[in-house]
């Protein structure tokens, strides 16, 4: 029995070499490969993959699927794209004429997956209403297509992924506590690239395999000194762009550095935007504080012009005025514009 198990693990482990996201000899890379192998060869318990954007959560899900259910459907569900009104039909399918505009019957994603894998990407983006429906899938309850009479079993392996701290969302009541515990059965966190920099040479070489180009040591040194906030995905994009722009078979600093400089500028801009939504401890701010910060940025961009602020935000004019007073930003506007209406609002409030 042990020999059979070892033989199975050997066959499965040989297939890791084709998976670029997790090659390398770092402890983090080895843990990811070992986790995928163990889960694929083991039970069908629900897996929750966590990690920053770009670390390869979807690739780990695909790896688990290929190692355990190769040849069967791998169905990806982008949770942020599911709408509240049509999500049930998307997930469970519908019978002919089930609702206005439905022509013929349609299989839902749960049935399409059959005995393969259902991968719920960015599960934190699910609305509360959709989270309630998702609970039934996790509980393996038979489902019925919208407008249908026959029920069908859930046979697929379920893997979910997120880059959000679900525990904080549970405390904020934006994510169901019961759903969190159902998802968090077999959790795994993928390490960011900055914690496995020793893998960068192998990763870069793998991303260049099709181009048959090689990256010079000094270019590798430059990349190793970078923190890669976009993780492995960002590394792949930089390396492949550098390969495209290089004339010869070698990629040096002159090809890599412009791409890194461009990425650094974008990261700096992104951080400025993200900082408007999080506090110093990276906790999401209350919606009132986010609205205030947004309004401040909006008024600055509009140079205090209310008409411009209305055009940019899409808010009604009365809404903009009301929020200016609500958040105490009247002086900011009046120091830049003569606004008689806002002055009258301020005077009425003082009285």
Give backbone dihedrals phi and psi of 260, rounded to 5 degrees, phi first.
-65, -40
What contacts 97, CB < 8 A, 6 or more positions away? Answer: 147
Over the stretch 118-162, which tens digit does the pLDDT of each residue have? Answer: 999 999 988 888 888 888 888 877 877 777 888 888 888 999 999
Q: Evaluate whether residue 325 is within a structural domain.
A: yes
Question: How many distinct helices (H) and strands (E) make up the chain?
Answer: 17, 9
**Contact residues for 84 (Cβ-Cβ < 8 A; gap 6+):** 127, 129, 130
Q: Evaluate if residue 350 carries a pLDDT over 70.
A: no
Per-residue burial over 125-150, b = 16 or more CB atoms within 10 Å of its CB, e = otherwise: ebeeebbebbeebbeeeebebbebee
Residue 26 domain boundaries? 2-189
pLDDT at 268: 59
Same domain, 295 and 152: no
Kindly report, residue by residue over 269-311, the tens digit of the pLDDT.
555 555 666 666 666 678 788 888 888 888 888 888 888 888 8
pLDDT digits (tens, 9 = 90+) for 46-71: 999 999 989 999 999 999 998 888 88
Listed in order, strand segments (DSSP E) in 51-97 are 74-78, 93-94
Confidence of residue 188 (pLDDT cuts 50, 70, 90): very high
Classify burial at 216, counting beta carbons within 10 Å of its beta carbon; exposed 0-12, middle 13-18, buried 19 or more: middle
Local structure of residue 277 (DSSP, 8 states): T
Of the ranges 25-34, 73-82, 341-350, which one carries the lowest mean pLDDT score?
Answer: 341-350
Residue 282 in domain: no
- For residue 307, being part of any structural domain is answered with yes
Examine residue 82 and state whether it is found in any structural domain, yes or no: yes
218 and 322 assigned to the same domain = no
Q: Give the mean pLDDT of 68-91.
A: 82
Q: What's the full length of the chain, in residues?
A: 351
Q: What is the pLDDT of residue 204?
A: 93
Residue 250's pLDDT is: 93
Residue 11: pLDDT above 70? Answer: no
Same domain, yes or no: 297 and 248: no
Round the CA-based radius of gyration of the chain to a whole number and report it.
Answer: 26
pLDDT > 60? residue 19: no
Structure tokens at 53: 């954007």
Residues 49, 111, single domain; the answer is yes
């Amino acid at each position: 029995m042990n020999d059979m198990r070892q033989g199975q693990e050997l066959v499965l482990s040989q297939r890791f070499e084709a998976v670029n996201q997790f090659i390398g000899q770092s402890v983090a890379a080895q843990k990811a490969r070992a986790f995928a192998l163990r889960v694929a060869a083991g039970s069908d318990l629900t897996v929750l993959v966590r990690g920053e954007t770009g670390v390869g959560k979807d690739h780990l899900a695909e790896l688990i699927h290929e190692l355990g259910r190769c040849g069967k459907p791998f169905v990806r569900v982008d949770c942020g794209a599911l709408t509240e009104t049509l999500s049930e039909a998307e997930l469970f399918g519908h019978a002919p004429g089930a609702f206005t505009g439905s022509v013929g019957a349609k299989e839902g994603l749960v049935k399409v997956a059959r005995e393969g894998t259902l991968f719920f990407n960015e599960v934190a983006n699910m609305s509360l209403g959709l989270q309630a429906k998702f609970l039934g899938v996790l509980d393996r309850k038979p489902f019925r297509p919208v407008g249908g009479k026959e029920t069908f079993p859930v046979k697929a392996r379920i893997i979910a992924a997120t880059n959000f701290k679900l525990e904080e969302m549970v405390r904020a009541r934006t994510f169901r506590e019961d759903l969190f515990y159902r998802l968090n059965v077999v959790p795994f966190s993928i390490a960011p690239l900055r914690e496995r920099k020793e893998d960068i040479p192998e990763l870069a070489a793998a991303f260049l395999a099709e181009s048959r180009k090689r990256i010079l040591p000094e270019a590798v040194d430059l990349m190793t000194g970078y923190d890669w906030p976009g993780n492995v995905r960002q590394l792949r994009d930089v390396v492949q762009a550098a390969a495209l722009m290089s004339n010869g078979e070698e990629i040096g600093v002159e090809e890599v550095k412009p791409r890194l400089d461009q990425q650094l500028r974008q990261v700096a801009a992104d951080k400025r935007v993200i900082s408007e939504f999080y506090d110093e401890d990276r906790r999401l701010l209350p919606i009132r504080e986010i609205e205030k910060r947004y309004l401040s940025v909006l008024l600055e961009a509009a140079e205090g012009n209310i008409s411009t602020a209305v055009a940019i935000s899409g808010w009604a004019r009365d809404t903009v005025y009301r929020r200016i007073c609500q958040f105490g930003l009247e002086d900011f506007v009046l120091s830049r514009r003569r606004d008689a209406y806002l002055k009258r609002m301020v005077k009425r409030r003082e009285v």
